[in-house]
Amino acid sequence: MSYPLKHLAIDTVNRVKEVHKTAGGKGLNVSRVISLMGRDLLATGILGGHFGAYIEARLDDDQIKHDFSHIDQESRNSIAILHDGGNQTEILEAGPTLTSTDATNFLKHYQKLLTQVSLVTMSGSLPGGLEPDFYAKMIQLAHQAGVAVLLDTSGASLKAALESDAKPNLIKPNEAEISQLLGQQVDGHDLASLKQALQAPIFTGVDWIVVSLGAAGAVAKHGDHYYQATIPKIKVVSPVGSGDSTLAGLAMALEAKKPDQQVLQTGMTTGMLNTMEAPTGFINPNLFDQYFAKVNVQAI
């Protein structure tokens, strides 16, 4: 839920006129962008209760196909208060803690869905109750089904996936996430140190690493090839959800087996288009070709 407020007053009542309620979360941002680009997809995850039903109804409104695994508890609600000229104060519920039965049910459900798809994207932190290696397990099941995985997470769950035998096919850390992962500050503006960071042993076996750098574009590694993607200066309305939109573009291009340069161009374009719109994880697909042509990708 997003609450725009001229001024957020503490310890008193704030009345909101214009409330926006969306089916949010990183995975659904990725889904919405792929859907707006007119590509076929299926959204899944774990939902429950009235909020869960509300999320499914909103996805129906947006004609985003979905097939969720259901639990007895309520899905979480998150509040973003936009106030005082550009401040964003967020109140994020922890969400339900899943039981081992919830986890097993989801994995069975997910395995069924794997037979219908050619690529999977996974985004966000794991719900409470799941072990950090849950994404690693999901990657293993995807690979058994011959399906590639793009993983956009951070902290312990990213580390567990990188340390497991079933590596994600692509990861998309930003500057803060790659620094956290390597336990050292990686400077996104220093190409040489970024290139070196991408060679860290923890990335062995990961096909694609795309380090997104906000307005500076991205630096990426695909196998033995290194690239720098630079983007034009644009008018930013809201950068929230740009990483998710980038993942959506990368997924679309990889699924279409595009060459490396175009994979990065597509991801940069969907990321940029998201920053040009107020809603999170939302793009205007009519602007795609125009901005795609302005992204420059060079081997480094």
Rank residues 95 and 271 by Cβ distance to ligand ADP and give the closer one.
271
H or E element in which residue 252 lies: helix 242-255
Residues 224-242 as b/e (b if ≥16 CB within 10 A, e otherwise) read: eebbbbbbeeeeeebbbbb
SS3 content of the chain, % helix, strand, coil (to 5): 40, 20, 40
Min dist. Cβ of residue 93 to ligand ADP (A): 21
Min dist. Cβ of residue 10 to ligand ADP (A): 28
Rank residues 69 and 242 by Cβ distance to ligand ADP and give the closer one.
242
Distance, C-alpha 92 to centroid of its chain: 17
Min dist. Cβ of residue 116 to ligand ADP (A): 28
**Tokens 């970024």 found at:** 194
Min dist. Cβ of residue 218 to ligand ADP (A): 5
Min dist. Cβ of residue 246 to ligand ADP (A): 4
Min dist. Cβ of residue 229 to ligand ADP (A): 7
Reduce the secondary structure of 140-208 to three states and give it as a string. HHHHHCCCEEEEECCHHHHHHHHHCCCCCCEECCEHHHHHHHHCCCCCCCCHHHHHHHCCCHHHCCCCE
**Tokens 């697909």 found at:** 285
Min dist. Cβ of residue 175 to ligand ADP (A): 7
Rank residues 44 and 174 by Cβ distance to ligand ADP and give the closer one.
174
H or E element in which residue 112 lies: helix 100-114
Chain residues that interact with ligand ADP, rule: CB under 6 A: 174, 212-215, 217-218, 231, 234, 236, 239, 242-243, 246, 268, 271-272, 275
Q: At what angle do helices 175-182 and 155-163 cross, to 10 degrees?
A: 60
Min dist. Cβ of residue 210 to ligand ADP (A): 8
Rank residues 174 and 228 by Cβ distance to ligand ADP and give the closer one.
174
Rank residues 29 and 44 by Cβ distance to ligand ADP and give the closer one.
29
Instruction: Identify the CA nearest to 129 among candidates 151, 104, 100.
Output: 100
Distance, C-alpha 214 to centroid of its chain: 14
Rank residues 171 and 231 by Cβ distance to ligand ADP and give the closer one.
231
d(CA 290, CA 187) in angstroms, rounded, equals: 30
Rank residues 5 and 215 by Cβ distance to ligand ADP and give the closer one.
215
Q: How is residue 66 annotated by DSSP?
A: B
Instruction: Identify the CA nearest to 158 among candidates 184, 185, 176, 178.
Output: 178
Residue nearest to ligand ADP (CB): 243
Rank residues 70 and 159 by Cβ distance to ligand ADP and give the closer one.
159
